[in-house]
Amino acid sequence: MKKLLIFSALFIMSCSAQIKAQSLSEVDIKVQMIKEWERAKDYTVEYLNTMPADKYSFRAVDSIRSFAQQMLHLAQVNLFLMSSATDLTPPAFLKADLEHSATAQSKDSVMYYVTQSYDYCIHAIKSMNIKSWGEKKKIFGHEETRFALMLKAFEHQTHHRGQTTIYIRLVGIRPPQERLF
């Protein structure tokens, strides 16, 4: 038994000496962030394509946003939070009230605004110097790092895309399968 314990201890020590922790570089973090936004864009486009064009005005109940309005809100907050994080000038439609614009509610318009917002976010991340990701910015009375604002933008779009899962189910369609990778 004593020999087994000594052998086990030596084996564990030799294995642990061979295992080296890998650290993430700044480039790794930036590449992963871009990869996640590209995945989110593809996933959201799949949602947009799953909902029939004639159901974009569907509301789960009267007091909440329509499917189109949810997606337009997602797009505009993508622009707002990412432009706040990166200081990159967003497309002009950030200042429009797309959620309440009659001309923005069609499937083609929603698809345009949403994909443009993701393209902007991806471009903003690619363009931004990662050395500035730790800088603080003030938004809504809170001080956050640029990196935290980018994470909040990602969380927000995930939240609103997730809300539309119920809309798709309520019109009798199976929503897209989750995409973690």
Tell me 97's DSSP state.
-
Of residues 146 and 21, more confidently modeled = 146
Q: Is 73 among the domain residues?
A: yes
Residue 115 near residue 41 (C-beta atoms within 8 A): yes
CA 5 to chain centre: 50
Q: How many Cα atoms sit within 13 Å of 40 on the Cβ side?
A: 28
pLDDT of residue 21: 67
| pLDDT score of 13 | 53
Q: Is residue 176 part of a domain?
A: no
Mean pLDDT of 10-34: 75
15: in domain: no
| Domain count for the chain | 1
This prediction's pTM:
0.86
Domain carrying residue 84: 26-170
- pLDDT digit string, tens, across residues 140-158: 999 999 999 999 999 999 9
pLDDT tens across 39-71, in order?
Answer: 999 999 999 999 999 999 999 999 999 999 999
What distance in Å separates the CA atoms of residue 114 and residue 76, rounded to the nearest whole number?
8
129 belongs to a structural domain = yes
Evaluate whether residue 33 is within a structural domain: yes
What is the structure's pLDDT at 24? 85
